[in-house]
Amino acid sequence: MSLRQYITIMLIATVLCWTSWVFVIINIDPFEARALSFSFFYISLFFALVGTFSVIIFGVYSFFLHKNEPMFRSVQKSFRDSLIVSLFLTILLFLQGKNLLNIWNTIVLFAALISLSIFFIFNKKSARV
């Protein structure tokens, strides 16, 4: 798959995910919704954020970092980083929806996701050695 095909497919999928999220927002009443409705909300939001952040972070990587590494490494990094950021924001929104969000939960969640990110970085480097 070429880079142009990847970006095109990612943009189309992101637009479809945002469309499904808007569809969920418009058609589901949060006061009468069940757990399945909320899961549709959070899942569609998560995938929409992953696509959006993946394209944005890839653009930042390719524009600002002029390394001699292959382009697929930048795609991998941007997708991994977008998964982590989207997971963080979706969990924060879920906790806020359940009235469980406070500063301590946010700090613990942030530390856990930073640890996960560091694990992925060092796991890749140790596998290459």
Tell me which of 38 and 1 has the higher pLDDT.
38
CB of 21 closer than 8 Å to CB of 49: no
Tokens found for residue 93 = 């929104």
pLDDT band at 66 (very low <50, low <70, confident <90, very high): low
Q: Which of 94, 117, 96 minimizes the C-alpha distance to 45?
A: 94
Q: What is the pLDDT of residue 126?
A: 52
CB of 24 closer than 8 Å to CB of 40: yes
- Give the rounded percent of residues in the chain with a pLDDT score beyond 90: 63
Indicate if the pLDDT at residue 128 is higher than 70: no
CA atoms within 13 A on the CB side of 36: 0
Q: Which of 61, 71, 52, 70 minimizes the C-alpha distance to 10?
A: 52
- Count other C-beta atoms under 10 Å from residue 128's C-beta: 5
Tokens found for residue 73 = 């490494």
